[in-house]
Amino acid sequence: MDVVPPELNSLLPDEIMDTEAIVTDDDLPAVCPAPPNALERQDTPVPMETEVPEIVTLCTAAPSIPVQRTQAMTTLTSTDSTPSSGSMGTQLLLTPSSSAMTLQPSSPQVTGSLQRLSTSLALPANHQLILNKVAASPGSELKPQLLKQDGQKLVVTTLGKGGQPIVLAMPHSAAKAGTLLSAGDGKGQPQQFKVVTIGGRTDLKPMVGVQALSTASQLMGTSQTVQQGQHPKTLQITKKVPVSTAAPMITKFIITKALNSKGLNSQTSLSPVMTGRVLTQSTPLTPPRTISVMDALSSTQSGSSKMAISPLKSPSKLTVVSVASPSPASPQKSVAVPLSMALGQQILHMQQQSTPASPAKAGLSHSTTQTVKPVQTVTVGGVGGPQFKTIVPLATSPNVQHIQVPGSRFHYVRLVTASSGSPPAPTGSSPSVAASLQPAKPMVVNSATVRMSVPIVSAQTMKQVVPKPLTSAAPQVVTSQQQRLIMPATPLPQLQPLPPGTLLAPAPGSGNMGYAVLSAPYVTQLQQSTIVTLASSSGFSSPTCVQTQARLPLNGLSDFPSSLSASESTSRQRKPCNCTKSQCLKLYCDCFANGEFCSNCNCTNCFNNLEHESERLKAIKACLDRNPEAFKPKIGKGKEGESDRRHSKGCNCKRSGCLKNYCECYEAKIMCSSICKCVGCKNFEESPERKTLMHLADAAEVRVQQQTAAKTKLSSQISDLLTRTTPAISSGGGKQPYTFVTKEVAEATVECLMEQAEQAELSNQSQAMAERVILEEFGRCLKRIINYAGKAKTDCC
Partner DNA sequence: GAGTTTGAAACT
Partner DNA sequence: CAGTTTCAAACTC
The residue ranges that bind DNA (CB under 7 A) are 577-584, 586-590, 593, 603, 622-623, 626-627, 630, 634, 649, 651-658, 660-664, 667
Q: How far, in Å, CA of 176 to CA of 294, rounded?
A: 15
Q: From the CB of 41, what's the least distance to DNA, in Å? A: 18
Q: How far, in Å, CA of 504 to CA of 516, rounded?
A: 5
8 Å CB contact between 637 and 44 = yes
Report the residue number, 662 or 778, with the smaller CB distance to DNA.
Answer: 662
Report the residue number, 684 or 778, with the smaller CB distance to DNA.
Answer: 684
Q: From the CB of 318, what's the least distance to DNA, in Å? A: 21
Q: From the CB of 409, what's the least distance to DNA, in Å? A: 18
Q: From the CB of 627, what's the least distance to DNA, in Å? A: 6
Report the residue number, 441 or 626, with the smaller CB distance to DNA.
Answer: 626
Q: From the CB of 577, what's the least distance to DNA, in Å? A: 3
Paired with 411 in beta bridges are 404, 457
Report the residue number, 27 or 590, with the smaller CB distance to DNA.
Answer: 590
Please tell me the chain's helix, strand, coil percentages from 3-state DSSP, rounded to the nearest 5: 25, 15, 60
Q: From the CB of 665, what's the least distance to DNA, in Å? A: 8
Ramachandran assignment for 407, one of left (phi > 0), alpha (psi -120 to 50 degrees), beta (any other): left
Q: From the CB of 636, what's the least distance to DNA, in Å? A: 13
Q: From the CB of 572, what's the least distance to DNA, in Å? A: 7
Residue 273's nearest CA partner among 8, 53, 504 is 53
Evaluate the CA torsion angle 32, 19, 436, 417 in order and state its sign.
Answer: negative
Q: How far, in Å, CA of 285 to CA of 296, rounded?
A: 32
Q: What is the DSSP letter of 663?
A: S
Cα–Cα separations (whole angstroms), residue 297 to 171, 172, 269: 19, 21, 14
Report the residue number, 256 or 582, with the smaller CB distance to DNA.
Answer: 582
Cα–Cα separations (whole angstroms), residue 698 to 438, 672, 675, 691, 702: 37, 20, 28, 10, 6
Residue 120's nearest CA partner among 207, 228, 232, 234 is 228
Q: How far, in Å, CA of 328 to CA of 642, rounded?
A: 53
Report the residue number, 69 or 551, with the smaller CB distance to DNA.
Answer: 551
Q: From the CB of 634, what's the least distance to DNA, in Å? A: 6
Q: From the CB of 176, what's the least distance to DNA, in Å? A: 58
Ramachandran assignment for 194, one of left (phi > 0), alpha (psi -120 to 50 degrees), beta (any other): beta
Please give the span between the terminal C-alpha atoms of the chain, in angstroms, as a whole number.
Answer: 75
Report the residue number, 654 or 711, with the smaller CB distance to DNA.
Answer: 654
Report the residue number, 587 or 746, with the smaller CB distance to DNA.
Answer: 587
Report the residue number, 176 or 634, with the smaller CB distance to DNA.
Answer: 634
Residue 321's nearest CA partner among 369, 255, 233 is 255
Residue 760: phi and psi, rounded to 5, are -65, -40
Q: How far, in Å, CA of 78 to CA of 379, rounded?
A: 11
Q: From the CB of 589, what's the least distance to DNA, in Å? A: 5
Report the residue number, 602 or 719, with the smaller CB distance to DNA.
Answer: 602
Report the residue number, 133 or 649, with the smaller CB distance to DNA.
Answer: 649
